[in-house]
Chain A
Amino acid sequence: MFRYIVRRLLLLPVVVLGVTFLLFFLTQRLSPEMRASLYVKDPRQMGALEEVIRQYGLRDNVFKQYGRWLGQVAKGDLGYSPSANMPVSQALKEYLPATVQLALVTMILVVFFGVWFGVFSAVHKDKWQDSLARVVSVGGFSLPIFVLGLLLLMLFYGKLGWFAPGGYSFQTDLIIHGPSFKTYTGFLLVDALLNGNMRVFGDVLSHLVLPAVTLCIGSFALMVRVMRSSMLEELNKEYVRTARAKGLSPRQVVYKHAGKNAIIPVITLASIQFIRLLGGTVIVETIFDYPGIGRFGVMAAQQLDIAGILGFSLMVAVLFVLGNLLSDILYTAVDPRIRLE
């Protein structure tokens, strides 16, 4: 186990270097002028483009340039992002908490409704309720999140006016950037609670509803399936028959006995899905104009903001590898039969 973790951690730099080198290599297709943004900390410096190009050897060969870039990254300098209008490191620090917050809220929704739907369909196995749950989950799996997102936006923003796009309202923007609002964690929901400002909390939460529901859809279908099959397996076991025989109500048997054991695979799946959600946030954040790291990445990609693209990819790769390692470890914690080698 320990050896496994060490080996995987050693793999982290290999993978991250690989990803960044691959992308760095691709940037060579672009002119040195465009690549200069990697080394500029402030757009006012842009006047002396030719100087920047010469100073940083943007016409040197790839390996030399890559090494130089790595040196800068090691110092925490990721360059300036024209698309976000701020240094890349600052942009990542500002946008990441919003995305993590969105993914967490989504995961809570997925687990809660996934478990409920899965149990529902297992208990009513092969009846119409089961077919309904199956249709809903396969349908949800096939509905692209950008289509669902736009439909929800049309209905709940355009027609009903309940939820608005964006990360928070204009009033909240004034409050959180005002002098009396203290930033503790960067997670707006948590900070709002710590500041005791329920209006900000409610506003941020209401802006999370549509993106979270949209992001749910893919993982939700998977969750229902896993919960259903795991529940069916448990319901066929001896201890459930014993519980039934001693006269417990069906409710107690399902939720107290079988449910508790059936939920184990769901928890591990949730931890894996949490990482997978990062990919989906790219689309969802773009549709709902949610100020997270996904939208930052898309804007950087659309505007060919190289510093932004490289910084974003670096961050995602690190998060992804660490997250996968974490979910592997969690896997062994939940199910001791699994051994990591």
Chain B
Amino acid sequence: MELFRIKKDIPFMRHALVFNIISLVTFVLAVFFLATRGLNLSVEFTGGTLVEVNYEQPADLEKVRSALGNAGYTDFAVQNFGSARDVLIRIPLKLDTQEDEGAEKGIARQGEQVMAALDKDAAGASLRRVEFVGPQVGKELAENGALALLVVIVGIMVYLAFRFEWRFSVSAIIANLHDVIIILGFFAFFRWEFSLSVLAAVLAVLGYSVNESVVVFDRVRETFKKVRGMSTPQVLDHAITSTISRTVITHGSTQVMVLSMLIFGGETLYYFSLALTIGICFGIYSSVLVASPLVMWLGVSREQFVKPPKAKDPNVSEDGACV
């Protein structure tokens, strides 16, 4: 069985402009939603308390809400989590109340207070999980997350520049950052919760989909070295076409795994695998159809691989063609 029966190189580069416009539009949309709606950050980043409880019968959210209201909480969110019997309660950090409580014994006790309130007015809840994150820790996690992203970007750029050429590294990073922004855009648009594990997924996807560009670039380099008389767009077309089956199969396999997590992994892994799914789908598209045109426009040419580059003018490519 062979899924990809491709006779001739597919002229991807002829439509380069179209692909880049599509990317640009999605990118701008993602940035727009990020700016207007913002990310729905989890308590890990904002600080606060998260309590997950389980009821024997389907839970009455109104009752839970009124129970919390009676206990003096004002700004909280109550929602079902996974099933109708599981309830997730989020209480943001309030500095004034925090200090009042902390004054007792220097320890936050919101988890217990919530349970006490539920026992009183919405009985039958059993505690599944409590997460409390103080304001300082939340800030640090957010900072470290941003730092990790930065290190990944710089690390990958340096590695690609060292292994290939700066043109490759720049276009690979642009293509993959565009993936990251689009994932974040999705999270902003749907108000999905952005937690630490989603961040981990985003970074993992970044490292993973750079692979894609690496594989294509590897082929580009090889073709430049081996075959004479092909124009740059032809070389790129050839490289993409000859790796397309591998690209689709690999991503398909990874996606199957992620899908399995999406189905069987439960609520905890849900957003993690969702971020991976978006990342993988856009990863195929961007690393092949965004990175390659970018390389072309940055002026990659045969000379850069075959001989030590003499003419460094990026505008002069093999035949000057760039459409």
Instruction: Indicate, yes or no, whether A interacts with B.
Output: no
Query: A interface vs B, CB < 8 Å?
Result: none
